[in-house]
Amino acid sequence: MAATAAASAAASLACRHDGHHSIFPSFSVHPPEPSRLFLSKALPKPYPFLCDNYPIAASSHRCMLPLTPHAALVDPSHAFLSADEDKPRDECGVVGIIGDPDAAQLCSLALHALQHRGQEGAGIVSSDGSSLHSATGLGLVSEVFSDPGTLAPLVGEASIGHVRYSTAGAASSLANVQPFVAGYRFGKLAVAHNGNLVNYRNLRSALESKGSIFNSSSDTEVILHLIATSSSRPLLARIVEACEALEGAYSLVFLTANKLFAVRDPHGFRPLVMGRRRPTGAIVFASETCALDLINAAFVREVNPGEVVVVDSRDMSITSLCLMPSKSRKACVFEHVYFALPNSVVFGHPVHSSRYSFGAALARESPAPSADIVIPVPDSGFFAALGFAEASGLPFRQGLIRSHYVGRTFIEPDKEGRNLAVKLKLAPVRGILEGKSVVVVDDSIVRGTTSSKIVQLIKTAGGAREVHMRIASPPIVGSCYYGVDTPSSEELISNRMDVEGVRQEIGCESLAFLSLESLRGVFADEAHMFCDACFTRDYPVPPRNQEIEQLVEV
């Protein structure tokens, strides 16, 4: 009866990819009632879903996916020592691979490609078809898995992996390093999470009042408890029920003995893509397409907001379902401003192209007619500076050289040490800068501390006559609660000062930010599908007051 009722509610719910670049069709799922995907304790079999435009194998009710190719341990007390101190930190990258005998090895390579998304810890969990095997550690991927013997026990043709950066709490605690593995009455389950739950405190409190015991300070553990305490069957129904309780951002990969699940929140805040590896046909999920490229996997599509994709290792069948009624997509625009690698395609747009367009728009809005050259703050300002230079007709020069071999923990936390940190990380090329009026293009300003040091460095060590700062994003005035480590609003310099105040604080001759209108203009008709709350304080999912006061890490 439940199966009949579910199947009869045709066209009542659609889970669709909102971007114009998707090569995969939309899916429709028909719940017994609009507010829930499953009311019954057991999912109807076969699981109800429709796949527009692509055939469904009648015997298995599973969708046949077409393939298309796409165009050092951080001490939290010394976090300010990096030349990137004035940047928000993305909170993690996830990888999932199923159907390849070298799954764990490939997972470690994919995590290398995502290292920019988290440097505090890394981990991999593999499945051999009957058991899960786990290896986690603090530090970079190359440190955690430097010994070949670390990967040796991770046998099997399926694995998930995680690189971690935390927002608060025990940043260097091994207990918080993912993937997490938990046992419940039907077996073991591993999970890796990119995002942040704004109702974590409320959920944890409710679970603890019912007897749940937590082993970490990570909001991801709440998801495992919700699944374990659910009375629904099978596991897919438990995952759906758990996600219905979550508020905020989550891109998740789950691994059991024989299945891999990929899940994205209904707003699609954080990226998650799907690919297929040549020649094995293994299915791969990752936070960015750069991870697919490294392991020779062809991009298939994004995991749609509000979707769960299930891959069964026993026959490599793929099932797609909607978690819940779709909401307006609100992809994080800061992925294009700073977080993602420029060789990635994120939310259907090449990142390098977006950054180039930001810089070109900035040149048209806020030219520097007296300037002689344009230089980027490496590395994230490179493409924006290139766009600014070409749009303004000024020469593009590499006036700052970045060292990629500077550690973070050996400099004393005083003023002299902080200044030395920037000098060690960024070296001016005096032969390019001396006597010049220089446009310096950076992607963003958060606290303003590093920007002031860069201006001083270019003038004193580089010998520049003038420094005109151009920022390829609007002023950051609001903290992020969807999986990004940003300071409190009081620490955000643009929340405390107007543009002229910021200019005086960092000591440059002129300062301009990209306007919000121009930023949105780069994405044209898709602009409303991006979350830009850090620039507007317009939060798609309002943060809870108690969560604002004490966010915890993923």
Q: How far apart are CA 276 and CA 296, in angstroms?
A: 9
Q: Is 480 within any annotated ligand binding site? A: yes
In sign, the C-alpha dihedral spanning 163, 490, 410, 83 is positive
| 322 assigned ligand-binding residue | no
In degrees to the nearest 10, what's the CA dihedral of 50, 54, 58, 61?
A: -50
Q: Could you confirm whether 92 is annotated as catalytic?
A: yes
* Contact criterion met (CB below 8 Å) for 473 and 486: no
Helices 220-229, 200-209: axis angle to 10 degrees equals: 40
User: Is residue 102 a contact partner of residue 444, using CB atoms and an 8 Å limit?
Assistant: no
Catalytic residue chosen out of the listed positions 15, 51, 63, 92: 92
Short-list 370, 537, 348, CA closest to 438: 370
Q: How far apart are CA 65 and CA 70, in angstroms?
A: 15
CA 368 vs CA 160, 313, 433, 510: distances in Å: 48, 58, 16, 8
Any binding-site annotation on 107?
no
Q: Strand 349-350 vs strand 345-346: parallel, antiparallel, or unpaired?
A: antiparallel
442 is in an annotated binding site: yes
Q: Is the peptide bond before 55 cis (omega within 30 degrees of 0)?
A: no
Question: How many angstroms separate the Cα of 423 from the Cα of each of 77, 80, 430, 458, 462?
Answer: 20, 14, 13, 10, 11
Tokens of 436: 């010049």
What string of H, E and C letters represents the secondary structure of 107-122? Answer: HHHHHHHCHHHCCCEE
Tell me the sheet residues that pair with 373. Answer: 438
Sign of the Cα torsion 206, 212, 217, 222 reads negative
Q: Tell whether residue 508 is among the known ligand binding residues.
A: no
**Which phi and psi angles does 427 have, rounded to 5°?**
-115, 125
Ligand-binding annotation for 90, yes or no, is no
Structure tokens at 198: 């704004």
Q: Per the annotation, does 290 bind a ligand?
A: no
Instruction: Measure the CA dihedral 521/526/532/535, to 10°.
Output: 10
List the catalytic residues: 92
Binding residues for [4Fe-4S] cluster: 332, 480, 531, 534
